[in-house]
Structure 1
């Protein structure tokens, strides 16, 4: 069996890092699947410890690579989120308006758009199958450019990444995995796919240890659908415009986002 170091070297390889999107996706898929397959037969205590340690290390390795690309955009989104949260941003009049993720998401998309960044508010929708229950999920998509303007990169923005994986009855090992996740995600779809696979496999392992059923909406297949290509995309001009003057944001049309 390959060592953990041999598995992650596929991900760390410089050629893989600079390769095209399909090659990156394939490397991440092979890496995560090999970890999941090896975990199914590990039931005794030493192997469980090895499993959880390797899952934490694997997730941290993916997050390190995720943090390399899009750091400037990620920092900008973080500043926007903090500034919006400090204002009276909810317009839907819900009881817990200070935690209204729908209004927060739309305001973030509006601010990014008003700064000249190509921004789409996306809704993934899928029907029920015998394996996956139907559902829908809203997220933000940004088309960023490299500093030389030679290449455009698609980034997904999920404002509640960590919240998506909270399971109250899961074990301490799983909670440690979730604690490694950032509060919000700004990055390539390939990294998000890899993160979801690792965390969902950990959820399955944790609930199995507790002899509890893992709900279908917690499984990898369902979670992956949230940011899938089965979506309707709404451009920013369909979003109700935020009151920029009240939040202190300034418009900057035709801005170019440097992804590094």
Structure 2
């Protein structure tokens, strides 16, 4: 039985990520701190070269009484369905498994995390479902180990990392400067879209 278009799409993106990891992708002055960011940039560049609509996104959130402030960077890719002009965003998280690793976890939780793919390539709603399952499992694990569960491990906090409800806008690759963005938008998620061919079509 042949693979579905979505499976083929994920396989192609996986291949592109592997190619990016094999190349000398780090161009920052501090590789120990910047390699992950450089890799995401390299993946976006390779995706656009292959004709995908790709974007480098940053989710940002302010500190509240419940959660610490923070930001998270990931990749977004746009695809459209056959027979429809509707564009579907696919999230690409290059450090997916690492997001859920806990040093002192029970065997059940460690086994669950071990089954996660190294990279996540899929829709936001599927990702939110996975996050819910993992966060509940983490809660049980910490209760079993009698360890306090930090707010950064809770489902609502984890989901903010890949929030898809904030404003987005497009800029040219040569003009990307966070400091030049309107201050009112710097508190929201930003997706820097690069020039590419029409979005890849899947079913």
1:168 corresponds, among 88, 97, 103, to 103
Query: What residue in structure 1 maps to residue 185 of structure 2?
Result: none
1:223 corresponds, among 149, 154, 158, to 158
Q: Which runs of 5+ in 2 are unaligned?
A: 176-195
1:157 corresponds, among 89, 92, 98, to 92
Structure 1 residue 154 displacement after superposition: 1.3
Query: What residue in structure 2 maps to residue 105 of structure 1?
Result: 40
Query: Contact (CA 8 Å) 2:78, 2:199: kept in 1 or not?
Result: no
| Structure with the greater alpha carbon radius of gyration | 1
Query: What residue in structure 1 maps to residue 120 of structure 2?
Result: 185
Structure 1 residue 77 displacement after superposition: 1.4
> TM-score normalized by structure 2?
0.79
Query: Contact (CA 8 Å) 2:96, 2:117: kept in 1 or not?
Result: yes
Aligned to 2:43, the other structure's residue is in SS state helix
Please list the CA deviations of residues 237-257 of structure 1 after superposition, one character each: whole Å capped at 9, or x if unmatched: 3379xxxxxxxxxxxx62542
Query: What residue in structure 1 maps to residue 183 of structure 2?
Result: none
Alignment of 1:115-130 (within 5 A): 115-130=50-65
Query: What residue in structure 2 maps to residue 91 of structure 1?
Result: 27
Query: Contact (CA 8 Å) 1:123, 1:233: kept in 2 or not?
Result: no
Structure 1 residue 163 displacement after superposition: 0.7
Aligned counterparts of 1:201 and 1:69: Cα–Cα separation in 2: 32
Query: Contact (CA 8 Å) 1:156, 1:187: kept in 2 or not?
Result: yes
Structure 1 residue 68 displacement after superposition: 6.5
Return 67-76 or 197-206, whichever deviates more: 67-76
Is 1:258 matched with 2:195?
Answer: no
Output the aligned Cα RMSD. 2.7
Aligned length in residues:
183
Whose strand proportion is higher, 1 or 2?
2
Aligned counterparts of 1:113 and 1:91: Cα–Cα separation in 2: 19
Query: Contact (CA 8 Å) 1:161, 1:183: kept in 2 or not?
Result: yes
Is 1:198 matched with 2:118?
Answer: no
Query: Contact (CA 8 Å) 1:170, 1:207: kept in 2 or not?
Result: yes
Query: What residue in structure 2 maps to residue 47 of structure 1?
Result: none
Please list the CA deviations of residues 97-116 of structure 1 after superposition, one character each: whole Å capped at 9, or x if unmatched: 8x811101011111112322
Q: Which runs of 5+ in 1 are unaligned?
A: 1-66, 241-252
Structure 1 residue 211 displacement after superposition: 0.6
Query: What residue in structure 2 maps to residue 77 of structure 1?
Result: 13
Aligned counterparts of 2:174 and 2:41: Cα–Cα separation in 1: 7
Please list the CA deviations of residues 153-182 of structure 1 after superposition, one character each: whole Å capped at 9, or x if unmatched: 111111111010010111111001111211
> TM-score normalized by structure 1?
0.63
Query: Contact (CA 8 Å) 1:89, 1:107: kept in 2 or not?
Result: yes
Aligned to 2:60, the other structure's residue is in SS state strand
CA 1:187–1:239 in 2, change beyond 3 Å: closer, same or farther?
A: farther
